[in-house]
Amino acid sequence: MKLTFLSHACYLLETSTHTIIIDPFLTGNPKAEIGAEDVTCDYVLVTHGHSDHIADAVEIAKRNNATIVSNYEVAMYCGKQGANTHPMHIGGQHEFPFGRVKLTIAHHGAGLDTEDGFICLGNATGILIFAEGKTVYDAGDTGLFLDMKLIGEMHPIDVAILPIGDNFTMGIDDAVKAVEFLKPKVVIPTHYGTWDLIDVDPNEFSEKVSGTGSDVEIMEVSQSYTI
Ligand code: NI
Ligand code: MN
Domain ranges of the chain: 2-218
Cβ pair 114, 98 in contact under 8 A = no
Cα of 177 vs its chain's centroid, Å: 19
Distance 199 CA to ligand 2 centre (A): 13
pTM above 0.75, yes or no: yes
Going from the Cα of 168 to the center of ligand 2, the distance in angstroms, rounded, reads 7
For 65, counting Cβ atoms within 10 Å of its Cβ (0-12 exposed, 13-18 middle, 19+ buried), the class is exposed
Calculate how far, in angstroms, residue 164's C-alpha sits from the geometric centre of ligand 2: 11
Backbone φ and ψ for 224, nearest 5 degrees, come out as -115, 150
Q: How many Å lie between the centroid of ligand 1 and the Cα of residue 52?
A: 7
Ligand nearest to the CA of 195: 2
**3-class SS of residue 114:** strand
Distance 98 CA to ligand 1 centre (A): 26
Quick check: helix, strand or coil at residue 13?
A: strand
Q: Output the CATH code of domain 2-218.
A: 3.60.15.10
C-alpha 16 – ligand 1 centre gap (Å): 30
Q: Is the alpha carbon torsion for 21, 56, 9, 143 positive or negative?
A: negative
Q: If you measure from the C-alpha of residue 107 to the centroid of ligand 1, how many angstroms do you get, rounded to a whole number?
A: 10
What pLDDT was estimated at residue 165? 98
Distance 152 CA to ligand 2 centre (A): 23
- Cα–Cα distance for residue pair 204/91, rounded to 1 Å: 33
Residues with CB under 5 A from ligand 2 (ion): 52, 141
pLDDT tens for the 227 residues of the chain, in order: 999 999 999 999 999 999 999 999 999 999 999 999 999 999 999 999 999 999 999 999 999 999 999 999 999 999 999 999 999 999 999 999 999 999 999 999 999 999 999 999 999 999 999 999 999 999 999 999 999 999 999 999 999 999 999 999 999 999 999 999 999 999 999 999 999 999 999 999 999 999 999 999 999 999 999 99
Size (the chain), residues = 227
